[in-house]
Amino acid sequence: MDAVTKLSMTLSKPRQSTDSKLQEICLCIQRLIPQADRISLWSLSDAKDNIVCHLMIDSAGQTTSNTVLEKRDFSEYFDAILKHQVVNAPDARKHPSTACFNEGYFIPNDIFSLFDYIIHHDFEPVGIICCESTRQVAQWREDQIKSLKRIANISSLFFAQNFQQLRK
């Protein structure tokens, strides 16, 4: 069974916990985009002025959550992701939409590349899938970009059904 089919099945199980569904989304991305050393899932506030991390998994399997990023601190990134639905920054430290993360996030976490994609519900952005490469610059391949779009589309129903629970 391929990773995306397995993800679809996991997300459709009503008794599966929200945390295990978030973890399955990240693990699916890890299998399809191996250069993504750090994968995280974020929800957007209703006002689109902040994002909250619900799960981040790194290559060592360590997880974190509940990080909040405010638009007022990272306006270049927020403007880009909301306008274009995607931020593909192989050299994230120099990219105009992501260089704002250098001092407080990229450099301390050894992040060089970022690839983010919006999760929608009813044509409204509700979340973000974030892929990051540490220790080296990563060029995201076309098949990986297509895979991330598929995962975002599949995840959108889960995010829509669990959005209020995620925001608490």
Per DSSP, what are the bridge partners of residue 115?
Answer: 88, 131
What average pLDDT does the segment 86-109 reach? 95
pTM for the structure as a whole: 0.90
Kindly tell me if the per-residue pLDDT of 66 is higher than 90: no
C-alpha–C-alpha distance, residues 67 and 60, integer Å? 19
- pLDDT recorded at residue 84: 95
- pLDDT recorded at residue 164: 53
Confidence of residue 3 (pLDDT cuts 50, 70, 90): confident
Map tokens 């050299």 to a residue.
Answer: 91
Kindly tell me if the per-residue pLDDT of 163 is higher than 70: no
Mean pLDDT over the full length of the chain: 89
**How does DSSP assign 60-117, residue by residue?**
T--EE---EEETTTSHHHHHHHHHHSEEEETTTTT-TTTGGGIIIIITTTTEEEEEEE
Q: Which structural domains are found in the chain, ordered by start?
A: 34-167 (3.30.450.40)
CB neighbours of 49 closer than 8 A, spacing ≥ 6? 70, 71, 72, 78
Confidence of residue 58 (pLDDT cuts 50, 70, 90): confident
pLDDT tens across 104-157, in order? Answer: 899 999 999 999 999 988 888 999 999 999 989 999 999 999 999 999 988 887
C-alpha–C-alpha distance, residues 78 and 132, integer Å? 17
Kindly tell me if the per-residue pLDDT of 167 is higher than 80: no
How many Å separate Cα 148 from the centre of its chain?
9
Written as one letter, the residue type at 158 is: F
